[in-house]
């Protein structure tokens, strides 16, 4: 989510991200169904006209796999298959060759193995919350390490394409950026306003269950608009 712009009191309108988010949240059921139809039509148009990017859709190679394996964190819990990241890090050329075959098959067909879609859910109690209430727990999904490895392979290819399209105001989930950047920008804005004897206000938008309520159909359509291969679109929507 973009942080939007920080406005002074003399601003005449709210930041656009807040208006957009509020409009989406309060869409009626009929409006959402109509919009979904428009999105589906847009997807069909893209599928008819799009040519998959050769660079994005080419088969993975050993060098890419080894870099992804190096990036796997250790001392992490296994998924339903019981495979630990330490096992993957110690694998030899035969296992790496087998993994490449599986990953490239996924890339060609756009279909994920059922084992990759299964996860072990662990409920962790949030600090100072009532243990008798379901919303007091934070669910953690333990995914297959082999699936996480595939995610790293995909991210290495997608990041150079997606990062230039992300608003500069967004600091989260970006390499070399973090919350400290936003805090520095906010304090600098307040200091400048203080020197000019103007009041400064900031709006913090906190959406309950933000990740669970993302409009996925529109998000995936936006990805295809960026000329990503349709194979990526196929298995990312599973």
**Per-residue pLDDT averaged across 15-26, rounded?**
48
Helix (H) or strand (E) holding 151: helix 145-162
Asked if residue 152 belongs to a domain, the reply is: yes
Angle at 132 between CA 126 and CA 138, to 5 degrees: 30
The answer to whether the CB of 95 falls within 8 A of the CB of 134 is no
Q: What pLDDT is recorded for position 37?
A: 60
Q: What pLDDT is recorded for position 142?
A: 93
**Per-residue pLDDT averaged across 59-64, rounded?**
94
Could you tell me what percent of the chain has a pLDDT over 90? 31
Q: What pLDDT is recorded for position 52?
A: 47
Asked if residue 64 belongs to a domain, the reply is: yes
Distances (CA, A) of 74 to 69, 128, 149, 198: 10, 30, 13, 50
Asked if residue 211 belongs to a domain, the reply is: no
Asked if residue 170 belongs to a domain, the reply is: no
Asked if residue 231 belongs to a domain, the reply is: no
Asked if residue 141 belongs to a domain, the reply is: yes
Q: Is the pLDDT of residue 214 over 80?
A: no
165: alpha, beta or left? (left if phi > 0; alpha if psi -120 to 50): alpha
User: What 3-state class would DSSP assign to 104?
Assistant: helix
Asked if residue 171 belongs to a domain, the reply is: no
- Per the structure, how many domains does the chain have? 1
Show the beta-strand stretches assigned E in 3-159.
Answer: 120-125, 137-142
Could you tell me what percent of the chain has a pLDDT over 70? 69
Quick one: pLDDT band at residue 225, thresholds 50, 70, 90?
A: low
Q: What pLDDT is recorded for position 65?
A: 96
Asked if residue 11 belongs to a domain, the reply is: no
Q: Is the pLDDT of residue 4 over 80?
A: no
Q: Is the pLDDT of residue 36 over 80?
A: no
Q: Is the pLDDT of residue 191 over 50?
A: yes
Q: What pLDDT is recorded for position 25?
A: 46
| Full domain range(s) for residue 88 | 54-165
Quick one: pLDDT band at residue 228, thresholds 50, 70, 90?
A: low
Quick one: pLDDT band at residue 9, thresholds 50, 70, 90?
A: very low
**Per-residue pLDDT averaged across 3-32, rounded?**
45
pLDDT digits (tens, 9 = 90+) for 87-130: 999 999 999 999 999 999 988 887 889 889 899 888 899 999 99
pLDDT digits (tens, 9 = 90+) for 134-176: 888 888 899 999 999 999 998 898 888 778 878 888 888 888 8
Return phi, psi of residue 166, to 5°.
-85, 135
Q: What are the tokens at 75?
A: 């001392």
Q: What pLDDT is recorded for position 20?
A: 52
DSSP 2: -
User: What 3-state class would DSSP assign to 136?
Assistant: helix
**Per-residue pLDDT averaged across 9-27, rounded?**
46
């Amino acid at each position: 989510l973009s942080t939007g712009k920080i406005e002074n009191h003399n601003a005449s309108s709210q930041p656009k991200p807040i208006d957009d988010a509020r409009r989406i949240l309060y869409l009626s059921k009929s409006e959402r169904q109509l919009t979904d139809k428009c999105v589906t039509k847009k997807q069909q148009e893209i599928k008819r006209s799009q040519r998959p990017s050769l660079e994005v859709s080419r088969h993975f190679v050993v060098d890419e796999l080894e870099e992804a394996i190096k990036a796997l964190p250790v001392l992490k819990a296994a998924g339903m298959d019981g495979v630990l990241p330490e096992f993957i890090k110690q694998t030899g050329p035969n296992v790496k060759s087998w993994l490449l075959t599986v990953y490239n098959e996924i890339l060609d067909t756009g279909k994920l193995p059922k084992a990759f879609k299964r996860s072990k859910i662990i409920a962790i109690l949030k600090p100072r919350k009532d243990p008798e209430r379901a919303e007091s727990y934070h669910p953690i999904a333990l995914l297959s390490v082999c699936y996480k490895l595939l995610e790293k392979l995909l991210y290495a290819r997608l990041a150079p394409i997606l990062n230039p399209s992300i608003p500069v105001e967004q600091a989260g989930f970006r390499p070399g950026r973090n919350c400290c950047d936003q805090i520095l920008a906010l304090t600098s804005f307040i200091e400048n306003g203080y020197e000019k004897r103007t009041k400064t206000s900031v709006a913090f938008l906190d959406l309950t269950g933000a990740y669970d309520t993302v409009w996925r159909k529109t998000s995936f359509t936006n990805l295809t608009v960026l000329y990503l291969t349709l194979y990526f679109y196929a298995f990312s929507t599973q």
